[in-house]
Amino acid sequence: MKKLLNTLYITRQESYLHKERETIVIKQGQDKLGQFPAISIANILCFGRVSVLPVCREKPEKGDRFIFFRQTHENKSVPF
């Protein structure tokens, strides 16, 4: 069986990610924007002001990566 390695793109400003059992949950305030099985996500790309709770970074699966893109004062996006 072929395992698909998916990339999750987070572009909503002021949102945050946390783990709920075996899933990654995206929230903004009290609103749940999405929930995905953690096993199906290989990379998470966060653009702008996105917070990731430390529990999401604990014991990452092999190949899991968080990549942050923040806007600098020169209006260029660079990896954090």
Give me the domain span that covers residue 39.
6-79
The answer as to whether 48 is a domain residue is: yes
Banded model confidence at residue 41, pLDDT cuts 50, 70, 90? confident
Q: Which residues neighbour 41 within 8 Å (Cβ) at sequence distance 6 or greater?
A: 6, 7, 8, 24, 64
* pLDDT tens digits along 42-62: 888 888 888 888 766 655 555
Please say if the pLDDT value at position 31 is more than 70. Answer: yes
Count the domains in the chain.
1
CATH number of residue 47's parent domain: 3.100.10.20
The answer as to whether 1 is a domain residue is: no
Residue 36 phi/psi, 5-degree rounding, is -135, 145
> What is the reported pLDDT for 80?
44
The answer as to whether 22 is a domain residue is: yes
